[in-house]
Amino acid sequence: MENELKQLIIDALDLEDISVDDIDSHDALFNEGLGLDSIDALELGLAIRKKYNVKIDAEKEDVVKIFSSVSALAKYIESARS
């Protein structure tokens, strides 16, 4: 799941120079970590909705926590789907 998510991040966000192995599951995705920004958060939210049919509602959910790392995101998607 985590590797699948990493590939989704690379494809959805045009991270051409980055491979799955370059992304640490526990590193921060935004700002100082992978360096993603707010537009990427929206793009990633859309990609996750399309692929996993999981909607992340910015009004109800703690999006900072959900998007904090690949590991956190994978856990959230798995729990939302079950």
Partner 1 sequence: MIVSDFVLREWSAWAPGMNCKADWKEWYAGRRTIQHDDKAIISDAVPKMLQRRLSPLARAVFNASDKCLEPGKSIPTVFSSAHGEVCKSLEMLKTIQAGDEISPTAFSLSVHNAIAGLFSIAYANSLESTVIAPGLEGIAPAFIEAFGLLSETANEVLLVLYDEPIADFYPISPFNLNAEIPCALALRIALSGNGLPLRFSRSLESRDDGEHPVQLLTFLRFLLAEESSLSLGNQGHSWRWDKI
- How many CB atoms are located within 10 Å of the residue 78 CB? 12
Judged by CB under 8 A, does residue 15 bind partner 1? Answer: yes
Torsion, Cα 14 16 17 19, to 10 degrees, reads: 90
Of 35 and 78, which CB lies nearer to partner 1 in the complex structure?
35
Q: Does 58 contact partner 1 by CB under 8 A?
A: no
2 binds partner 1 (CB under 8 A): no
- Closest contact distance (angstroms) between CB of 31 and partner 1 is 11
Interface with partner 1 (CB under 8 A), residue from 11, 19, 22, 46: 46
Between CA 74 and CA 82 the distance in angstroms is: 12
Q: Does 57 sit near partner 1 (CB under 8 A)?
A: no
